[in-house]
Amino acid sequence: MAFSFQNSSFRDPDTGVYNLNYFMEILFREWHRSMREQGQLSLVLVHPSYPQRHHSQEKKVIASILEKSVYRATDLVSILNEDDFLLGLFNLNKSGTDVIVDRIIAQTNELKQQFGIEIWAGGFNLSPNKDIRLETVFDELQLFINSPDIHNEKHFSISEYQHH
């Protein structure tokens, strides 16, 4: 397969999903659009629990599942860090977000059987406004993914974001 410069600047070379820089660029644009149009968006953190330290092949499989689970061209899947993924679901309410995350969790049952990987997902649905700081949302999302709300039989929780 020939190297493509077209995708090299905004795709993660290991997983093929968007890199965090590109994700943040699009998120800022969609954030401001949602503010103008009084729309909603969801940010979802997907945290796989890998049974071993080296898991590059498993990350590719998870990335593929995530990309196949978001059907709309406007939704983004990004690598967040060494282990986690981030979804940006734009112009979508909480119930729509629940459907997408439920679809992801349903597809990951095979991961548990094949690789011993469990998937946990936590997210916020929110209506951006000038009083909400995006940095605070990300900080609270990191805390939320580790909360007891996520570690339930469904393996995920999407919450309406409340500005603090």
The CATH number of residue 72's host domain is 3.30.70.270
Cβ-based neighbour number of residue 53 at 10 Å: 5
Q: Which residues of 28-45 are buried (b: 16+ CB within 10 A; e: fewer)?
A: eebbeebeeeebbbbbbb
How many domains is the chain partitioned into structurally?
1
The answer to the question of residue 93 being in a domain is yes
* Domain presence at residue 63: yes
User: Is 5 a domain residue?
Assistant: no
The answer as to whether 8 is a domain residue is no
The alpha-carbon radius of gyration of the chain (Å, integer) is 16
Tell me the residue range of the domain where 58 lies.
15-160
pTM of the model: 0.89
Sheet holding 85-90, edge to edge: 76-79, 85-90, 41-49, 118-126, 156-160
Supply the pLDDT for residue 75: 95
Q: How much is the pLDDT for 66?
A: 94
What is the predicted pLDDT for the residue at 157?
87
pLDDT at 92: 94
Per-residue pLDDT of the chain (164 residues; tens, 9 = 90+): 444 445 568 999 999 999 999 999 999 999 999 999 999 999 999 999 888 777 788 899 999 999 999 999 999 999 999 889 999 999 999 999 999 998 998 888 778 888 888 888 999 999 999 999 999 999 999 999 888 877 777 778 899 987 66
